[in-house]
Every structure is written in C-alpha cells, then in structure tokens.
C-alpha cells in the first residue's frame, strides 16, 4: 500500500507561507485538484483552508460520507446544508487568530472574491493573492503519483491498440472517438481528462481539432490525441497513423522528422534543465528542416491531477524542470491543406534521467 503523504504535503505548504515575503497565516484553497492533493477529497464542491497546524474541509450534504472517508484522516470535515461559503466564514475563527489569509487568485471568480469582503465584515482578516503555492508542490511527483500516471498510460496504450485494430476507411472521426472512449472505460479509465481529438486528412493540421463527422479516406493521416485517468492522475498520449494504405514518401519523411525530434527530446530531457532548453531538443531539428513555423505550440507540459499543469517545456519557459516531474513530449508539424503529425509520450524526470511511462511505440503505423 502506498504511503499516505498528505501530512507531508500540508507541512510543505505551510513552509511556503513565508516564502517570497508572503507572511500568510492560512491559505484558502478553492482549486479542486489542489483540494484533492491536500485532503484526498475528490468531490465537485467544497473549499479548504490550510493553516500551519490545521486543515479544514467544508463541503455539502451530498458528500457527507465521501468527504469523511476520503479526507477525514487528515482534515476536519464540516458539512453544510445551505451555503458552503457561509459555513467557511463561520468556522474560520476556530482555526485560531488569523490576520493574513491567502487565496488562489488564479482560481477565484469575481463573485467569489466579493464573498471575501462580505464574509470578513467585522473580522480582522486581510485577504491576499497567494500565487500558485500548491501547484508548486504538485509539480514534483511522489512514487504513488508516478505509479498512477504509469498505470493510466498503460491502459491508454491498451485502449489505443484495441481501437486501431478496428479502424477502417469510411468511418467518421466521431465513430473512431467513440470506439476509443469506450475502450478506455473498458480498460479501466476513471474518465476522460479531455475530449479525445480524432482528426483526419487535412484536419490533422489543426493542432486542437474538434472531432467531427468527417469520413476518413484511405491514404490519409489519422491523428489521435487522448487521455486516461487512474486514481485521479492523467496520462496524455498522441499517435498519428496512415489509414487504409501505405504511407507516401512525403508522409514518411514528415513522420520521420517528427518522430526523430520526439525521440531526441524524450531521451535528452533532464530535471534541472530550463524548460526552454527541453523545448529546443525537439524544436531545433524541426526548424533545421525548414518546418519551424509549422510547429507553433510548446514541446510539452506537466501531467498529474490535471492534464495540463506545471512545468512547461516551451520557448518562453526559463524555470528549471523539477526533479520527479512528469511531462509530455509532443512535438508536431502541421501543414495546412495536407495534414499534420504529432507524437506524444509521458516521461518521468528521475534523478537517473528520463523514464518513459507510456509505451513509446512511435514507429509509423500503416493500417492496411
């Protein structure tokens, strides 16, 4: 059984209360992934407050049993039948004298911010935007988190193999997405971290295409970008195949370029490397072949409780990649009117170098 690291996470968060001159007495946590990371609670409604000594979770009656089961060992759980926010402000004084309470400005709506003023009326609380403190901790994964992502990647690979075996010319993108999403559930995925992208022919040149009713023709690219979830943790994989025919010389040349860039990056990325240097591992060979303008997105991003989280592997990312981060490596080249190729795998940045968590099966597949 994996070690319960929630108390360590709470202590690590409290240690950040004085970082960068923040001088916080507590942090109001409203981000659902952050609440889950700190408490284990996976419900869709609730707020949490962390002080140096205590952790409070407030949710509603729908989650009374679930919240106690998931979070009761680490947090004080309060159930509210009416307004969770009213209950939060009622219970805040029980956490001790609090002067400066941080909040997750990146996750708070204007309406929620207005609640701070109303709820703090007559109180000594000073509300202060605190930055992404929990996200800073989440970027570095513990062994259980890495294991969950590895498991999600394994079942994603299994679901893809099942789906690819059933793909034929004449099917629509939506039909293929349905096959894939059903296979993911049958293989054990808890959900879909994002709607699967299935893009064919010239539509594969749209990096974030919406899956459509377009019919896939023989000899076309089929780009499939999808995810899986295990224990709340996400995998994110992309494969590009040729349907119903052998690849043309031009298709093979384009595929080999992207595959070589992806392999170079996934084998060369290291913890401690600035995100822009990791991005350059994939970008440089693509630019050298004259396709720099056709690779417009970043090389990768962090994976965890969210499918897009810190760190970033991008031209503008100057921060070093954290040890034990899990990142995607996903270069792509997109040629309007002709189609595109993207290849994506998930990599753990261990102390000994990059460790592939997904299957890494990136040889060109021709479905003939």
pLDDT level of residue 117 (50, 70, 90 thresholds): confident
pLDDT of residue 26: 96
345 neighbors 360 (Cβ within 8 angstroms): yes
**Lowest pLDDT segment from 10-19, 111-120, 179-188, 259-268:** 111-120
Q: Tens digits of per-residue pLDDT, 68-87?
A: 999 999 999 999 988 899 99
CATH architecture of the domain 6-138 equals 3-Layer(aba) Sandwich (3.40)
The phi, psi pair for 238, rounded to 5°, reads -130, 135
Instruction: Please give the C-alpha separations between residue 45 and each of 36, 48, 67, 134, 282, in angstroms, as whole numbers.
Output: 11, 10, 10, 18, 40
**143-367 CATH, one of 3.40.1790.10, 3.90.230.10, 2.60.40.10, 3.40.190.10:** 3.90.230.10
Angle between helices 275-288 and 249-268 (to 10 degrees): 160
pLDDT of residue 81: 83
**Lowest pLDDT segment from 13-22, 106-115, 117-126, 233-242:** 117-126
230-247 b/e (C-beta count within 10 Å ≥ 16 → b): bebbbbbbbbbbbbbeeb
Residue 27 confidence (pLDDT) above 60: yes
pLDDT of residue 121: 62
Residue 119 confidence (pLDDT) above 80: no
Give the predicted TM-score (pTM) of the model: 0.95
Residue 105 confidence (pLDDT) above 70: yes
230 neighbors 145 (Cβ within 8 angstroms): no
Residue 2 confidence (pLDDT) above 80: no
Q: Tens digits of per-residue pLDDT, 294-348?
A: 999 999 999 999 999 999 999 999 999 999 999 999 999 999 999 999 999 999 9
Angle between helices 143-166 and 173-187 (to 10 degrees): 130
pLDDT of residue 241: 98
Residue 189 confidence (pLDDT) above 70: yes
Distance of CA 337 to the CA centre of its chain: 30
Q: Enumerate the domain spans of the chain.
A: 6-138, 143-367
pLDDT of residue 122: 56
74 neighbors 7 (Cβ within 8 angstroms): yes
Q: Look over the chain and give the mean of its residue pLDDT values, rounded to a whole number.
A: 95
Sheet holding 220-230, edge to edge: 197-200, 220-230, 233-243, 366-367
Question: What average pLDDT does this structure show over 117-128?
Answer: 75
Q: Tens digits of per-residue pLDDT, 212-264?
A: 999 999 999 999 999 999 999 999 999 999 999 999 999 999 999 999 999 99
Sheet holding 55-60, edge to edge: 76-80, 55-60, 47-51, 26-29, 100-103, 126-129
Contacts of 209 (CB under 8 A, 6+ apart): 197, 199, 203, 223
């Amino acid at each position: 059984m994996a070690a319960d690291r929630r108390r360590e996470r709470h202590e690590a968060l409290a240690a950040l209360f004085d970082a960068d001159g923040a001088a916080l007495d507590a942090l109001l946590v409203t981000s659902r992934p952050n609440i889950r990371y700190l408490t284990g609670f996976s419900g869709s409604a609730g707020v949490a407050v962390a002080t140096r000594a205590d952790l409070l979770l407030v949710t509603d009656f729908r989650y009374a049993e679930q919240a106690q089961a998931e979070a009761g060992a680490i947090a004080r759980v309060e159930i509210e039948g009416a307004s969770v926010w009213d209950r939060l402000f009622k219970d805040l004084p029980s956490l001790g004298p609090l002067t400066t309470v941080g909040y997750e400005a990146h996750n708070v709506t204007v309406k929620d911010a207005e609640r701070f003023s109303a709820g703090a009326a007559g109180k000594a609380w000073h509300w202060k935007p605190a930055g992404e403190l929990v996200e800073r901790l989440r970027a570095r994964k513990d062994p259980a988190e890495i294991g969950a992502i590895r498991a999600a990647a394994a079942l994603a690979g299994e679901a893809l193999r099942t789906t690819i075996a059933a793909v034929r010319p004449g099917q629509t993108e939506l039909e293929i997405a349905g096959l894939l999403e059903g296979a993911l559930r049958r293989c054990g995925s808890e959900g879909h971290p994002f709607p699967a992208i299935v893009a064919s022919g010239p539509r594969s040149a749209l990096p974030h295409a919406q899956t459509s009713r377009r019919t896939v023709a023989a000899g076309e690219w089929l780009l499939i970008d999808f995810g899986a979830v295990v224990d709340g943790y996400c995998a994110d994989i992309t494969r590009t195949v040729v349907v119903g025919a052998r690849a043309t010389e031009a298709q093979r040349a384009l595929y080999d370029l992207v595959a070589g860039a992806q392999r170079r990056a996934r084998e060369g990325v290291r913890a401690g490397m600035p995100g822009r240097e990791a991005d350059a591992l994939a970008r440089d060979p693509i630019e050298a072949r004259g396709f720099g303008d056709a690779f417009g997105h970043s090389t990768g991003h962090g994976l965890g409780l969210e499918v897009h989280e810190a760190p970033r592997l991008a031209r503008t990312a100057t921060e070093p990649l954290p040890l034990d981060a899990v990142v995607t490596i996903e270069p792509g080249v997109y040629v309007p009117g002709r189609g595109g190729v993207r290849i994506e795998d998930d990599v753990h940045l261990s102390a000994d170098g990059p460790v592939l968590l997904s299957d890494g099966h990136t040889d060109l597949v021709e479905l003939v």
